Structure 1
Amino acid sequence: MTTPQVLPVTALIDDVIRLLPSAPVVLEAPPGAGKSTALPLALMQSELFQQQRILLLQPRRMAALSIAHFLAEQLGEAVGESVGYHIRGEAKFNAQTRLLVVTEGMFTQYIQRDPELLGTGLIIFDEFHERNLATDLGLAMALESASLRDDLRLLIMSATLPAQTIANWLGDAHVLQSEGRQYPINIQYQPVPANQTWLQAMPAVIREAMRLASKGVLVFVPGKREIDQLSAMFEGNSEWLVMPLHRQIPLAQQKQVLDERDTRRRLVISTNIAETSVTIPNIDVVVDSGRERQAQFYPQHGITKLVTSRISKASATQRAGRAGRLGPGHCFRLWAQADEHGLRDYQAPELETADLTSFLLECRRWGSSPEQLKFFSLPNRGNLAQANSVLKALELCNEQGMLTALGHQVADLGTEPRLATLLVRAKTTSATHAATAAWLVAQLEHNVEANQFPLPVERLTQTMRQRYQYWCKQLELTQPRVDASLCSEVLLWGFPDRVAKLRANSDRYLLSNGAGAMLHQQDTRSRDDWLLVLDMTLSEHHRDAIIRTAIPLNNTDLEHPAIIRERRVEVRWQGPQQRLQALEVDAIGAIVLREIPQPDKISSEQRLHALGNYVKAQMRERGLELFQLSPATQQWLARVRLYEKLQQPTEWPSIAIEVLVDSIEQWAEPYWQSIDSLSKLHAWDPLPALQARLTFQQQQQLDEACPAALAIPSGRLVAIDYCAEKPKLSAKLQELFGEPVSPTICNGRQSITIDLLSPAGRLLQRTADLASFWKNAYQHVKKEMKGRYPKHPWPDDPLQAQATHKTKRQLK
């Protein structure tokens, strides 16, 4: 048995054991504190958990393997005895295993099958700050399980998220904080030159890091493409072992990165898979690109796009820390120190950015809606709505949100819902269908090259072959036989909303879910009339999604029972005047196969409903400018806005766009009885409809506070321009004689700006302070204008003169 190291977290072990029985414990511990190694081992050996198993949850398979082997080594045992692990496709543990390291996705399957987790005494959520979907979902379910058992303990550990914030959310948790154990790290900023991209600048920085390193270099880049490009540049150096590291690398190759026996200096080029949890041996220099690839789900397309973005401050700290785990280190950052103030504090949780289909399926399987579970941050509502649509399209849940029998079977398989659906459907059809489904799913799970799909069985990669064999076992196939001619029939069960038809006179496709898609311009595949799209990506340069993986469909495939083909009556705006017309439509979702005009089949209710829907959609973008607003309407709206701003009336009908949109049926539709085209609709003046929203008393209040016009001293009624920057009226200077100060409205809260005009109607002076004008500017204006307009009065004392719009002769 290895003598355990004295790590900072050791000082808190007694506190953790003492506090766990009474409430969850939240431990904040920086990298190197020993929270993933020393603490779980000490808890396993404590009397508190002598009779129960501890589950240690890890976000990544590589971390789970590394920690399990390390802890077993500390005990002088082989992994699988006191300490074991369970990850997808691989497990080593037995009935006597006391500490089981599992990935968070595997934990979801554990707790779904046994909600009380009988035999488990403690669940440790390691690296909670990563905020994966499985992390948040697993903790939400564990909190409910803990309420069923008095002896189920929870320990939440985070390297960056403040423990007190998490504890406040939990409500009754204890907080502990540990010191870290990190050697000094020299941070060196290397901003990318203006004439280079960060990827072009990276090789030179890596070479500088290799000259500086005495042990090894760890390079952080966003994804596989950058890893492959940089690895190719540095391979062939006999003194350096170049090791790429990302999720698509086979597990056996990932394990080699953790092997300390190779004495060569190592250059590990990795995604953020190496950011936390795992200590990669023999690293003393880190090169950080400052970028990561994040999954951003777009519900309108039903696609997850990998977006390259800047990392958070927390991630930058974690990455730099990799250089100081085993001794003093050095970190090169490809940005300027001044740029760090623009980095966000933490990475956005997947609940806000990811596809939530699998997440929602697991919630429903648990027997709850996401709203009924306790989450540290709320799931994205738009992504949830899209997930619900997919589950219903696959017939995995009903209108009430309850899982169907098929839904339960799919959830039990523990893979992506679309793929699980076609596996279950194929199994109930025939053994050949099931084998074909296993063969296809094994490839789709591992991102087979788009132009090679589907690969023959004999050409499957080792990882794909292992998954194919796994699924054959799950489907109870003893002599599997694959039939490639069944591809479309099998795949349609999982992707019924991904049928795509080539648009007329175009090389672009319309999907049955309403999204647009296209093959890349350099894609040499034929543009078939019909496709089943299995994988798409979004590009910053194209409006439509780019089709990666797809198979052609024929007319027979369109009769597949998973495809919902419907006949419906649609009401559309058509023709030059955009008049409403009824059409009988034969369609697959948004793809219209045939349409037949149905004259005289539009009711008044349908017409008003269509008008309302059109106006709601347009007003959200264009506001009331959608209509032909007369000057009187514009003035009335400006008056009401000023009245609302200054008087702040209660029980007043708001003219905010969102309010008007939500109440279209009440205030606007009664005035559309004669409108039967969009051209008439655009010409409609909404003033009478808007005014009718005010009661008689409210209209009087408006007229009193914000009158449309004011009587000026000359006796003339002058309109106030409320559309100006400030309310304004225009009058000849002589008409204001005798008016000592500027007039006001809104009970004196708003003064009127006055445009003082010459007898010819030209602007002489604009003022919001008439008293000041008479006192200071009038004599100068009089001197300039008296000779030009001698027929009009220019008295020495304008305040004592008679206001008039007449000439001196007319006055006599």
Structure 2
Amino acid sequence: MITALPIQAVYNELVSQLTTQPRVLLQAPPGAGKSTWLPLQLMLDGHFKRIIMLEPRRLAARNIASFLAAQLGEPVGERVGLRIRQEVKISARTQLEIVTEGTLTRLLQADPELQGVDLLIFDEFHERSLAADTALAFALESQQALRDDLHVLVMSATLDSERYQTFLSCPLVRSDGRSFAIDEVYVPLKDESRWLEQIPPMVRQALHEQSGSILVFLPGQKEIRYVADALQDTLSSCPELILATLSGDQDKQAQQAAIEPAPAGKRKVVLTTNVAETSLTIEGIRIVVDSGKRRASQYNLRTGVSELVTQSISRSSAVQRAGRAGRIEAGVVYRLGSQALFERRDAHDRPDILCSDLSGLMLEAKVWGSEVHELALLDTPSEAQLAKAQALLHSLELIDDRERVTALGKQVQALGADPRYGHMLLKSKALEAEYPGITRLGCYMIALLESRLSSSPELSIALQQQVAKPHGAFRQQLSYWLRRAQLQQTKEDLAIEHLPIVIALAFPDRLAKRRGQGWVLANGAGVNAHKAYWLDASYLAIAELGGHKGQQIFSATAFEPKQLQAALPYLFSERDVCEFEQKSAQFIHEQRTYLGHWVYIAKPAQGPVDTTLRTQAWLALVRQQGLKIFNACTDCEDLLTRMALAQQLYPQEFQGLDETSLLARLETWLAPYLDDIRQLPQLKKLDLHTALLSNLEWAQQQRLKAILPTRITVPSGSSIRVQYQLDGPARLSVRMQEVYGMSHSPVLCEGRIPVLMELLSPAQRPLQLTQDLAHFWQSSYREVQKEMKGRYPKHFWPDDPATAQATNRVKSRM
């Protein structure tokens, strides 16, 4: 058995907390034994009858299960079991079960009480996968509502402890750090854009300066191939070196070969992706070379595409990677970039729930009987993410118009696949009688996409290439999906003619129509195609998008809408449309067939224009052009400004009165005035002032008049218009003689808006601008009086204007 691990020092404290508290948080750095010694000891000591431990990565889950079973001298599937995709090894004797990805979520969906299970362990929770967040949310709800005897242990090497502890409302147990020290070597970047070129020299430096085997962290397969090729000369000159690669896409044999220790007298250089970052010990590794990069999924809300991007890792991930060097003995980590650059990195990686497609989470929540916003989630996804997920689930027929999960939605969730692929598989089976071979074609299509093989952008060619000479990763995926579809391997020709239907089943939002030099998707986004492909096509069924802003088509095939309309009529919708075309100044009244956002067929509609449709057309035009479309009078412009000012200064009393808010709800205040509007000139002459006032109740109108009057009566008796502006003082332009006797500047809006007085000559020319009339009378007025007496001798220019009689006449008529 494993001995002398740091986790042992806190074991008794942890057991005490676990057996008395519903939830416990454990923070233990790499090498402490939290993923191996701890769960096995909890099982052996009989503190819990059955334990399920969630591991975020399949490779780690498989190796942990194998390691723990070996400690007991048993095969996996006895007391220690494993349940991951494509591999289930459990029995009636199983007490500790290692699961991964969405497995725990499916177990909870099938049995919310998790009968027989009394401890759930969430390992490496700092990775914050969407599956782990979902499973924890369900587990917490089950614990609260159904199983007060169910215990939950959340643990990681690098947790945002205070935040997690507050969220879980639980005690925190801390374990000491790793057993062996790790030295840090920083290798400054010369050119960030050429960072990959600096990795091979770093590996050679580490080989020269250190002893032992090396683990090199790289973002993905492309970078692994580059570094492997660059190190060939070094390998040739150093026969004691063995090069191995490790990634989640490899088969078990290749992964195990990378993990095994180097033979005596040999050194290994293991090139790996993030798969080796956590819960994995590679024998003999005492050196880590860290590129500081990772490949992460980033969801593009505009195109609805999750694309893999290369980005810098957080400090916590860097600590995890470095920890691989100190598992067996003292080690060293070589980090690409300066220490200052390292310290400026984010503390933690951004969780998946904030940058992912949430359609799977939303479907799980609905089957669970909840909504996403009702779940106990550490981070709250954006409304835009949820709206996009809802739209996708609706287009896949997994939820209905009332946002309730459909029978098909429940079947797809039970399948445990991505909603797109689940829909493709189940609908293909339903269409098999009418479209023979379509189910098999669907399995081939999913296998091609999941194996992520670089091939022809034309999907029909890419599939035929794999049929003729299948790649190992493709064969593995195909075998899995054929089993899911209950089909046998055969040499039948693929029904390639059904390919557009298969793609549309999984990617209805990516059906595209040519628009100029580019394409418009069914979800409304614009994308671009490879210049050498699909030159004569008018319509494309797209499977993969990415590149700059997610707008580059990576794989697709041409289609004819008639084929999809016959097979998948639910993708199409028909409606009468009325639009105002400004070029012809006429209404277009058409009956249109839509595929998502774009028009497939348009033909003139029969009969007169419906009043409601015409009104909607006017509203669309007003939204497009803004309220400036109206021949608005000065009173309308002033009213708009006053309403917006009232909203700024009195938000509790006045809301939604700025132009943006008004345009957003035209249906509620403008539509009632449009029933009889048939021509654009009529619209422009609309009584906008009355329509705008309808946004205010009677009391609000009176309040607006009181705080922001349209006119101010000056001492002469004249009523002078006030000119308002959204940013700055109000302006009052008045002849100077008319404000004699006014000792102070007027006050507006209870003193919140200053008044800039523009004092005019008898000829209406500006004489003075002031916001302090009293000060002007006592200072600059003398100079104005002297000049004006000579220029306008017939007008009254008193020595004490603050007390003089105001007038709008000459002296002889006063």
Q: Shorter-chain TM-score category?
A: 0.7 to 0.9
**TM alignment of 1:194-273, pairs within 5 A:** 197-199=194-196, 208-238=205-235, 239=238, 240-262=241-263, 264-273=266-275
**TM alignment of 1:29-44, pairs within 5 A:** 29-44=28-43
Letter in 1 for 2:150: L
- Pick the aligned partner of 2:389 from 387, 390, 396: 387
**TM alignment of 1:569-718, pairs within 5 A:** 569-574=576-581, 576-598=583-605, 600-613=607-620, 615=622, 618=624, 624=627, 627=630, 629-646=632-649, 650=653, 652=654, 654-657=656-659, 659-661=661-663, 663-676=665-678, 681=683, 686-718=688-720
- Pick the aligned partner of 1:552 from 558, 578, 581: 558
Deviations 1:561-599 (A, max 9, x none): 224345432223335255333212244444434322125
SS of match in other structure, 1:48: coil
Q: Distance in 1 between matches of 2:274 and 2:55?
A: 15
Deviations 1:388-430 (A, max 9, x none): 4444433344445555454444334322233233333444536
Q: Distance in 2 between matches of 1:166 and 1:285?
A: 32
Determine if the alignment matches structure 1 residue 537 to structure 2 residue 539. Answer: no
SS of match in other structure, 2:380: coil
The structure-2 alpha-carbon separation of the partners of 1:730 and 1:375, relative to structure 1 and needing over 3 Å to count, comes to same
**Count of equivalent residues:** 796
CA contact (8 A) 2:741 2:805 kept: yes
CA contact (8 A) 2:756 2:771 kept: yes
Determine if the alignment matches structure 1 residue 108 to structure 2 residue 110. Answer: no
CA contact (8 A) 1:731 1:754 kept: yes
Determine if the alignment matches structure 1 residue 11 to structure 2 residue 22. Answer: no
Q: Alpha-carbon deviation of 1:25?
A: 1.9
Q: Distance in 2 between matches of 1:587 and 1:96?
A: 57
Determine if the alignment matches structure 1 residue 71 to structure 2 residue 68. Answer: yes
Deviations 1:5-47 (A, max 9, x none): 3314542344335533541222233333322122112111112
Deviations 1:357-385 (A, max 9, x none): 33333334444443554333334443334
Q: Distance in 2 between matches of 1:8 and 1:495?
A: 46
Q: Distance in 1 between matches of 2:423 and 2:23?
A: 37
**TM alignment of 1:410-489, pairs within 5 A:** 410-427=412-429, 429=432, 432-451=437-456, 452-454=461-463, 455-478=465-488, 480-486=490-496, 488=498
Determine if the alignment matches structure 1 residue 83 to structure 2 residue 80. Answer: yes
Q: Distance in 1 between matches of 2:709 and 2:573?
A: 57
User: TM-score scaled to structure 2, two decimals?
Assistant: 0.86
Quote the residue 1:503 is aligned against.
514
Q: Distance in 2 between matches of 1:116 and 1:784?
A: 94
Letter in 2 for 1:41: L
Q: Alpha-carbon deviation of 1:125?
A: 0.8
Q: Distance in 1 between matches of 2:631 and 2:290?
A: 57
SS of match in other structure, 1:592: strand
Determine if the alignment matches structure 1 residue 304 to structure 2 residue 306. Answer: yes
Quote the residue 2:731 is aligned against.
728
Letter in 2 for 1:314: S
**TM alignment of 1:161-176, pairs within 5 A:** 161-171=159-169, 173-176=170-173
Q: Distance in 2 between matches of 1:773 and 1:132?
A: 69
Q: Distance in 2 between matches of 1:214 and 1:684?
A: 85
- Pick the aligned partner of 1:318 from 320, 331, 334: 320
Tell which deviates more after alignment, 410-419 or 133-142. 410-419
CA contact (8 A) 1:714 1:803 kept: yes
The structure-2 alpha-carbon separation of the partners of 1:185 and 1:604, relative to structure 1 and needing over 3 Å to count, comes to same
Q: Distance in 1 between matches of 2:408 and 2:655?
A: 50
Q: Alpha-carbon deviation of 1:663?
A: 4.3
Quote the residue 1:277 is aligned against.
279
The structure-2 alpha-carbon separation of the partners of 1:700 and 1:27, relative to structure 1 and needing over 3 Å to count, comes to same
Q: Distance in 1 between matches of 2:699 and 2:422?
A: 64
SS of match in other structure, 1:453: helix
SS of match in other structure, 1:16: helix
**TM alignment of 1:800-811, pairs within 5 A:** 800-803=803-806
SS of match in other structure, 2:233: coil
Q: Alpha-carbon deviation of 1:466?
A: 2.5
The structure-2 alpha-carbon separation of the partners of 1:731 and 1:291, relative to structure 1 and needing over 3 Å to count, comes to farther
Q: Distance in 2 between matches of 1:789 and 1:314?
A: 81
SS of match in other structure, 2:542: strand
SS of match in other structure, 2:32: coil
Unpaired segments ≥5 residues, structure 1: none
The structure-2 alpha-carbon separation of the partners of 1:693 and 1:242, relative to structure 1 and needing over 3 Å to count, comes to same
The structure-2 alpha-carbon separation of the partners of 1:363 and 1:760, relative to structure 1 and needing over 3 Å to count, comes to same
Q: Alpha-carbon deviation of 1:690?
A: 1.5
CA contact (8 A) 2:451 2:477 kept: no
Q: CA RMSD in A?
A: 3.8
Determine if the alignment matches structure 1 residue 23 to structure 2 residue 29. Answer: no
Q: Alpha-carbon deviation of 1:126?
A: 0.7
Q: Distance in 2 between matches of 1:762 and 1:292?
A: 70
Q: Alpha-carbon deviation of 1:780?
A: 5.5
SS of match in other structure, 1:676: coil
The structure-2 alpha-carbon separation of the partners of 1:649 and 1:24, relative to structure 1 and needing over 3 Å to count, comes to closer
Quote the residue 1:123 is aligned against.
120
Determine if the alignment matches structure 1 residue 359 to structure 2 residue 361. Answer: yes
Q: Distance in 2 between matches of 1:704 and 1:476?
A: 77
SS of match in other structure, 1:494: helix
SS of match in other structure, 2:308: strand
Determine if the alignment matches structure 1 residue 56 to structure 2 residue 53. Answer: yes
Q: Distance in 2 between matches of 1:499 and 1:645?
A: 43
Q: Alpha-carbon deviation of 1:646?
A: 4.7
The structure-2 alpha-carbon separation of the partners of 1:794 and 1:190, relative to structure 1 and needing over 3 Å to count, comes to farther
Q: Alpha-carbon deviation of 1:258?
A: 2.2
Tell which deviates more after alignment, 116-125 or 311-320. 311-320
Q: Distance in 2 between matches of 1:320 and 1:161?
A: 16
The structure-2 alpha-carbon separation of the partners of 1:560 and 1:698, relative to structure 1 and needing over 3 Å to count, comes to closer
The structure-2 alpha-carbon separation of the partners of 1:715 and 1:598, relative to structure 1 and needing over 3 Å to count, comes to same
The structure-2 alpha-carbon separation of the partners of 1:774 and 1:232, relative to structure 1 and needing over 3 Å to count, comes to farther
Q: Distance in 2 between matches of 1:678 and 1:230?
A: 67
CA contact (8 A) 1:17 1:48 kept: no
Q: Alpha-carbon deviation of 1:151?
A: 4.6
Tell which deviates more after alignment, 2-11 or 132-141. 2-11
Quote the residue 2:777 is aligned against.
774
User: TM-score scaled to structure 1, two decimals?
Assistant: 0.86
SS of match in other structure, 1:484: coil
The structure-2 alpha-carbon separation of the partners of 1:488 and 1:193, relative to structure 1 and needing over 3 Å to count, comes to same
Q: Distance in 2 between matches of 1:62 and 1:708?
A: 74
Q: Alpha-carbon deviation of 1:164?
A: 4.7
SS of match in other structure, 1:229: helix
SS of match in other structure, 2:505: coil
Letter in 1 for 2:232: E
State percent identity of aligned pairs. Answer: 35
CA contact (8 A) 1:567 1:587 kept: yes
CA contact (8 A) 1:582 1:602 kept: yes
Quote the residue 1:745 is aligned against.
748
Letter in 1 for 2:164: I
CA contact (8 A) 1:104 1:138 kept: no
The structure-2 alpha-carbon separation of the partners of 1:14 and 1:555, relative to structure 1 and needing over 3 Å to count, comes to closer
